[in-house]
Copies of this chain bind each other. A is one copy, B any other.
Amino acid sequence: MTVRAFTLADATLERSPGQDADVFVGNLVDERDGAPVTIGYGRYGPGVSLAETMAVDDVMIVLEGRLTVESDAVALDAGPGAVVHMPKGVAVTIRAGDEGAVTAYVTYPHWRPAHA
């Protein structure tokens, strides 16, 4: 494997599987590349919310906008530059702020086969 660099423009964003809300994800590195982690960008529409039980460890880095991540009745607010760690097995509700949000994510192991 070689070093690769990406920007949001490199990602092909698709609606997040199983979600009706405006949550879009685009993998840049995943199980097809032979790397141990999946890397991608996500985009959340204004005010959308998404409830999920994590199938993998997911690290989300907020690049634009704001998100609130609620788990165990605790709500964590995350703006640009914040990093949120959502461990495998936890139940979370992610809510985007009024301007929506753009994130980068890294999951271990790969989220797509774990999600299927």
Contact = CB atoms under 8 A, between A and B. Distances in A.
Interface of A: 1-8, 28-29, 35-37, 39, 41, 57, 59, 61, 63-64, 69, 71-72, 74, 76-78, 80-87, 89-90, 92, 102, 104, 106, 108
Contact of A5 (B29, B35, B64, B83): B83
Given A61-B104, A69-B3, A108-B36, A8 B87 contact: no
Contacts of A59: 37, 39, 106
A58 B24 CA distance: 24
A108 B37 CA distance: 7
A74 B2 CA distance: 10
